[in-house]
Each structure stands twice: as structure tokens, then as C-alpha cells.
Structure 1
Amino acid sequence: MTSWPALPALPDPATDAVVASGLAAELSHAFGGPFHFLLPDAFSANLAALRAALTDAGVNGFVYFAKKANKAAVFVERAAEGGAGVDVASAAELREALGHGVRGEHLMVTGPAKDPVLLRLAVAHGATIAVDALDELDRVIALATNGDARPPRVLLRVLPAGQPHSRFGLDDDALSAALKRCLEAGAALRMEGFSFHLSGYALQPRADLAARLVELCRAARLQGLPAGRISLGGGLPVSYTDADSWRAFLAAQGPAHYHAGRTFRTGDFYPYHSPLSGAGALAALLATRPQGFGRDLAALVKDAGIELLLEPGRALLDRAGATVFRIQGVKDRDGYRILTVDGTSLSLSEQWFNSEYLPDPRLIPRDPATPAGVHPASVGAATCLESDLLTWRKIAFPYPPRPGDLLLYPNTAGYQMDSNESPFHDLPLPPKVVVDRTDRPRPRWRLDRHFS
């Protein structure tokens, strides 16, 4: 085979600076295993861009970082420094956020069937609770009547009509019952509005549902409830590659390009290119006209005096980190190689969702090298599992990969680098390294406070 589909990552000067300085090689030697490096300046830039999109549209909004997207403390610290909030779904996440400087009233508590400890902490610290079920609302109301001077703050999570089989959210009957219970609770509970989360990245369904929530707020106010906030959840897409590369990859790739002839359904791949991403996608969403309305979403929200809440994860973490492995062994096969690295595919979470993390890994040779043709190779893990491959695809490397060389997987901070990690085979979890400055000849680094 002479053609090998490629998917080059978009340029990232900060990652380039880490590699050019020799820091990646030095850290691999120091840790003796794989590691993640974090680029928190990218997080801060993404947060500023999202806020600018809200401001440009004249919308009053607030951004919560979806902490589940990355466990590192530095991103919570940047959220706190920037006056943003954090979306948490466990008591441990809530404590981590408080411990790294996030104010209690800047916490959004989500997730199903919340633990009683989580609910109690949320109420005590004035967090907003996205209520997912009637029994959960009853538990919050019970906490509200235990003598706390500050009433619990809740949003009612709505089941999207377009996703009726979702296990999250209140259907129409449950929503009516929840509103009745909120009214009966009176001043002991503060019902601040509604929330939703949609799978996928299409803008029109998101705008349509947001408009419905605006109308729900108007109706709830007529009944005497505050109802001045709606949360759109996350779901802002991120682009990892350019449009031409993405189209060419999808058109060319097939079983012959993967180890063992493995097949993937293209519909199961993350959309690694999006014409609108991050803050651009938010601006487009605000400019979208919901079906049945004569004005765009921004105008509807402004006219109703609604505060728009966002809970992005991946969109805040775009280009905010990468993952580095060292090649331990190289095995020749018929027409390609199988590399074995010093970690597992648990550090690239996409591999565990019947999919593949597609942006091309970057080969960093141990010794200076010049391009020497095309050297296809798949990438396996240092485990005893046949299916544990970081990259099933045969990557066309420009150098022959050798033991001691490094592989850098780009842009892994959003969900990839630790959501599925475990110390399988008693291998230590890859540490997280914070690179605070990449504009120096020698980038400054430190270990993240929460790297286990």
C-alpha cells in the first residue's frame, strides 16, 4: 500500500515550544514513563473568547468549567482566577473546586441521583443544583427545611423532546409536578430556572430547546417563581484538524489502514473538524433563530432578562495540553510496524468508546534525524491485552520509529488524558506537568497539585 490517510493536528505554537526546548524528552527521562503536560494559558484564552462572544451578542451569561473533562487542579485555579464557575458532579469534585479557590455560589452541581453528602454540601455553600428527578427535588426541599438560613438554589433539568430515551431530565408531567412542589416550598427554596444537555453538536436543536426554556421561565415567573436563568450545558464543538484533511481522511480510510483490519464506523468518530468551534460556535448559536420565533436566540434571552449559563469542558480545554509516551519496542509486520509504548490506551479515552483518537501522534526522535521516507506503524500499549492499542491506524511516520523515541499525542486535555485512566498492571498514573510559560527559551514547569 502506498497511500496512508493522515490527520494532522492544527498548529499549536505552545506545544511546538515545549518540544523545541527539549523539555518533553527531559520530562520523559525524569518520570520514566508517560506524562501529560498542561498549557493553562490556552484555558484562559478560551474562557476569554467565550465571554467575548456573550458580550458581543449583548447577552448576560456565566461560564462554568465542566470539571469532569479534566481532573487537573490548574484548570480549576484558572477558572477561579478568571471569575468563572465549575460544574461538579461529586462531593470530591465540589471539595476540590472549593479548595482551589472557586466560590460556593459559582458552583453548578449536575449529574443523576446525587449523593446525600453532595446535596448537603451544595446547599451549605450556596451552589446551584440542577435537579434531575422528583425524588431528588424532595431531598433538596427537605434540606431546605432543616433551618438553613440560605435557601437552596435549583434549576430543573428538562428532558429534551428530541432525545426521549435519555435517562437524564424531567419529562413534561414530572416538570409540572416539580414546579408545583417548588411553589409549595415557598421561600424555603429558590427555583432559579431550567437546564438541559443535548448530545451532539448541531446548533438548531440547541437553539430550539433554549427558546423553550426561555418560555418556561416566563411561565414560571407568572406563577411567582424567580426563574431567571437557563443552562445550555456543554456541547460546543472543537476542531482538531482542518476541513480538507478531515474530508480527505474520511474518504480514504478503510480496514486496510488499521492493524488487524479493524473497522470503525465513521459515525462513531468524534467530528475532528467543525466549521464553527468554541467561541465561534457559541456566537453562531446566539445568532440562530429558534424554530417558530422571529428573532435570534440572543434577542429572546435579552428580552426575557435571562442569564445564560454554559458548562463547557472540551471547548475550554482546546489546545490546553498533550500526552507523551516513550517507545519501548518495535516489531516488524508485513508492510508496517507495531510500536509498544510505556503506557496504556486508558490514557487516550476515545479508544474505549469503540472509536479511535484520530489526530496524528508526533514522533520525536531520540537522536537528530532527517525524514527518510514513509514508515507506517500502529501503536500498542505495554499491557497483556490484545485490544489495548493507542492507535489502531497505521500512522505514516517520516522517520523509522525506534526504542527511546517519543510519541506526542496533541490536544488531549479535553476528556482524553485521564477520564479512563487506571493503574492497570500496577503501572503508575501518568503525572500532569503544568507548563506556565512557553514564550521563554526554556519553558517553566511544575507538577500539578492534583496529578494522581
Structure 2
Amino acid sequence: MTPVHAAGRPAPAGLVLPALQHPLVQRLFDEHAALLHELVDGLGSPLHLMLPQVFAQNATAFAECLRTEGVDGLVLYAKKANKAHCLDEACARLGLGVDAASAQELTQALGAGVPGPRVGVSGPAKQPALMRLALRQGSLLAMDSLEELQACALAAAAEHGRARVLLRWRPDSQPRSRFGMADAELDAALDVCLHQQAHLGLEGFSFHLTGYSAAERAEAAHALVQRCLDARARGLQADCINIGGGFAVRYVEPAAWRDFQAQQGPAHYHAGKAFGGFYPYAAECHGAAMLAAVLAARPSAQEPLSARLRRHGVRLLLEPGRALLDQAGLTLFRVQGVKDRPDGYGVLTVEGTSFSMSEQWFDSEYLPDPLLLPDRGDAAMPYIACVAGTSCLDSDMVSWRKLRLPRRPVPGDLLAYLNTAGYQMDSNESPFHGLPLPRKVAVEFHAGQRLHWRLDSVAPLRPLQII
């Protein structure tokens, strides 16, 4: 059916890019649409829904990959991807670790029951309060520089303790990164660890790569295994490597993504907007399957990484964030108004701002199609519209793209953006205009398939119902 503008003019066709849906997400829409409206009515728009059971499924898949390969390892959830309390509680119950980069993140993880030794502390030039707390809790500190390593040794001496440390490496493939130490700096850091063994316990090395290449991660991991062997030869412990995150997520079907890329251009976006690039929304290798590819890789005809880790007794740490959050959350915006433009498409204004959809932080756009709730049937005329926030900024666009919706929305309808838990929800949240920060609700299906929800806040721990 050809879309027609409300004024009777032909509208641009609009590209579609359907979002993948986890079965629990489908059940929310199919069986509990009325509840979703009630939650937004009571708690405000936008509203973030978290599904900790899906998070648990993703974490279990990563852990099972390590077990299948016989690799001693630990999955640490990268908290920066989403700050929901229910995820820390899930980590505590599932035996996961947490990657924290602030005293607040570390405190939240500890308060949820994650033991200090299962927390990795990353980030550059760590604040003294964070360093002290990590030392007292026995957390593993990734050292970003020589200066930080020396400061850590002094802090450990002041605490009459011994810091557990990794040395963060900056590979030659990441010359523009501000993080980590190049090879010469890493050698100097080893000397510091040797001379400060009373206060520095070197457990190994770490890196974090940009991009989503399994082969590049495997090559860097092999290099760090060799680093461990060299450090052991000098009398240091060095029995662990941390390969960071960057495990891709698939948001849409590959065929749909190829079609979208082949057709999209500035005409498909409000004001002819152009972007620096898009996330690879249909990654061929993603999630735990990407970890399996890293473990199986043989850079330079070496043995697989998994075999080399086993043979040398090197433990593997990894820090997935987005990949653990795949399908584990969604965001609901309530339509506030609809404006028909004379150039053939509409502008939906929703309650909330684009600060709750953080992809634009990266000069990009969150592309998977949102769902219009309720969809009042196929008989309605398709409607093309972009989505704007409620602020006074012309750049406050939740979706610059001219979306193809099943009908013309009306105030009070909901737009559901799927799979937003990974970085989209709260990286850029702001009380701009005095608007309250959006709330989060944890949603679980319990025994007998009953749906339970609760505000995501610091609260007495509840049992996670594994599905």
C-alpha cells in the first residue's frame, strides 16, 4: 500500500529495517500491551524496561563457550553499557564478574553481592578513592600507564597491602588510542613490578580493541600469552589475560541490512541528515559465537588460542557489555503530538529527548525500526514520519530517519525501540529542561509464566527466575 500524507500528497516510501525480537519481548507485546501503557502512564515517558532473564541467557552462552573449550576464564559484565541495578544482582547470582570504572560502579557491584575479587577496575588515572576501595576489596586493577602503576604501588604500601594488577597494552594497531602502554612502556612497567613485588602482584596483561574483528582479538591475545610467558621467566606470576569487550550484536536480519544499506541516503532522513557511519547491525559473527571464533583462531599458523591457553595455564578474562545486553531491554516513548509537514512526511514529538537514545553520541543513528503500540490493524494507511524529542533543540531527534509506520499515530500511542539496553538507554541521560531522568523497570516471567515487574532500584535481593 502506497503511503499517503494526511494532506493527500504522496509521501516518500520510507525504508524498513525490522528489529529482531526475543521470544520474551514478543510475549510482552502480544500478551501485555495494556500493562506497557499502564507502566508509562504511571512512571512516565520514556520508560526503560529491563529483562534480566535474557541477560542471564546471554551470560550463560558465554560461560558455556569457555567450558566447551576447556578454558579457565571469567566473564565480567562491562557496567558502563547499562547501569541497571538488576544486572548487578544477576551477576552476583550467576557467578559473573563486573568491570567497573568508578567508585560508584564498584560500590554498586559490591552492594549487589558481587565479591571484590570478581571485580575488574578499568579506566585511566583512577581516583584515589577508587584505588583505595579496590585495594581493600581485593579487586583486579588494570594499569593504564607507568605513572598509574607507580601510584598504585604507593597506595598499596599505604594500605599495607598488595595490589592485584594487570598491565594494559596498546597494540600497534591502535596508535590513536589514548589508553594503554606501548611495548617499550610495558617493558618499563615490568621492571616496576619486579622492584615492587611487595606491593604489586602482576597477574597478567589486558587490552581493549576498537572494532569487532575476532581475528584481530585472537592475534592480540596470542601476543599477550607470550607476554605472560616472558614475565614468568622473570619471576612474576602473570597467569591471566583480559581481552576486553567488543563482541558484536546482531539487531536485524542480514538480508534486511544489506537491502537497507544499498538504498538509504540523505533523502531518507529529516533535513537530509548524513552520518559518520552506522553500527554493523547485522554482524555475521556475534555474541558467544564471536568468542568461539576468537578461541579457535590460529594467527600465523599457531595452535588455536584455546589450546594455547590450556597448555600454558593462562586464565582468560573478557568484558562484554553490549553482547550481554542483547535483547535484554527496550525503551518506550509516548507520542505527544503529530505534525504533518508540507513536504510529504510527518514529525512525531515524543515525551522525552534523544538523550535517552545515545547512538547520536557517535555521530550516528539507532536504525532498527521501532514498533507502534497499539498497531490498529493492516487496514490503516501507512504513514511516514521522523521522531523528535520534546526539547527546544532542532537537533533533538530520536529518529532522523523517515520511518514507515502502519498508520498515523495519535497522542498517547507508544513507540517501542527494541534492544536498547546496550549503551542506548542511559549513556547520555540528562535532566535538560528540568525533565526527570527516565525510570527503569525490571520485568521477569516467573513460574507459571506470570509476569512480574518492579522498579529498578537498590532493593532487597530477589531470586532470579532462570528461564
* TM-score between both structures, scaled by the size of structure 1: 0.96
Q: Which moved more, 1:370-379 or 1:212-221?
A: 370-379
Partner of 2:462: none
Partner of 1:16: 26
Partner of 1:350: 359
Root mean square deviation, CA, Å = 1.5
CA distance in 1, matches of 2:344, 2:123: 47
Q: Is the 8 A contact 1:17 1:438 kept in 2?
A: no
CA distance in 2, matches of 1:249, 1:63: 34
CA distance in 2, matches of 1:34, 1:185: 51
Partner of 1:107: 119
Q: Confirm whether residue 421 of structure 1 aligns to residue 432 of structure 2.
A: no
Instruction: Letter of the 2:145 partner, please give it.
Output: A
Q: 2:310 aligns with which of 302, 305, 310?
A: 302
- Residues 303 and 442 (structure 1 numbering): CA distance in 2 closer, same or farther, change over 3 Å? closer
Q: 1:233 aligns with which of 244, 248, 256?
A: 244
Instruction: Letter of the 1:256 partner, please give it.
Output: A
Q: Is the 8 A contact 1:363 1:397 kept in 2?
A: yes
CA distance in 2, matches of 1:8, 1:42: 20
Partner of 2:278: 269
CA distance in 1, matches of 2:50, 2:313: 38
Secondary structure (helix, strand or coil) at the match of 1:419 reads coil
CA distance in 1, matches of 2:210, 2:197: 34
Deviation, structure 1 residue 186: 2.0
Instruction: Letter of the 1:339 partner, please give it.
Output: L
Alpha-carbon displacement from aligned partner over 1:184-216 (angstroms, at most 9, x marks no partner): 012332100000000000111111111000000
Instruction: Letter of the 2:86 partner, please give it.
Output: V
CA distance in 2, matches of 1:238, 1:11: 13
Q: Is the 8 A contact 1:59 1:308 kept in 2?
A: yes
Q: Is the 8 A contact 1:91 1:118 kept in 2?
A: yes
Q: Is the 8 A contact 1:76 1:102 kept in 2?
A: yes
Partner of 2:110: 98
Partner of 1:207: 218
- Residues 103 and 314 (structure 1 numbering): CA distance in 2 closer, same or farther, change over 3 Å? same
Deviation, structure 1 residue 147: 5.0
Q: Confirm whether residue 220 of structure 1 aligns to residue 228 of structure 2.
A: no
Instruction: Letter of the 1:41 partner, please give it.
Output: Q
Q: Is the 8 A contact 2:12 2:345 kept in 1?
A: no
Alpha-carbon displacement from aligned partner over 1:241-273 (angstroms, at most 9, x marks no partner): 0110010000011111111111224xx201101
Q: How many residues align?
A: 446
Deviation, structure 1 residue 154: 0.1
Secondary structure (helix, strand or coil) at the match of 1:187 reads coil
Partner of 2:82: 70
- Report 1:119-138 matches (<5 A): 119-138=131-150
Runs ≥4 residues deviating over 3 A? 367-371, 438-442
* TM-score between both structures, scaled by the size of structure 2: 0.93
CA distance in 1, matches of 2:377, 2:413: 11
Deviation, structure 1 residue 171: 1.1
Q: Confirm whether residue 390 of structure 1 aligns to residue 398 of structure 2.
A: yes
Q: Confirm whether residue 26 of structure 1 aligns to residue 13 of structure 2.
A: no
Unmatched tracts of structure 2, length 5 or more? 1-10, 460-467
Deviation, structure 1 residue 124: 0.6
CA distance in 2, matches of 1:272, 1:255: 19
Partner of 1:187: 198
CA distance in 2, matches of 1:106, 1:85: 5
CA distance in 2, matches of 1:425, 1:258: 26
CA distance in 2, matches of 1:135, 1:188: 15
Partner of 1:168: 179
Q: Is the 8 A contact 2:170 2:180 kept in 1?
A: yes
CA distance in 1, matches of 2:100, 2:41: 35
CA distance in 1, matches of 2:441, 2:308: 43
Alpha-carbon displacement from aligned partner over 1:346-397 (angstroms, at most 9, x marks no partner): 00000222100001010003x8444423211100000000000000001000
Deviation, structure 1 residue 176: 1.0
CA distance in 2, matches of 1:71, 1:385: 27
CA distance in 1, matches of 2:366, 2:328: 17
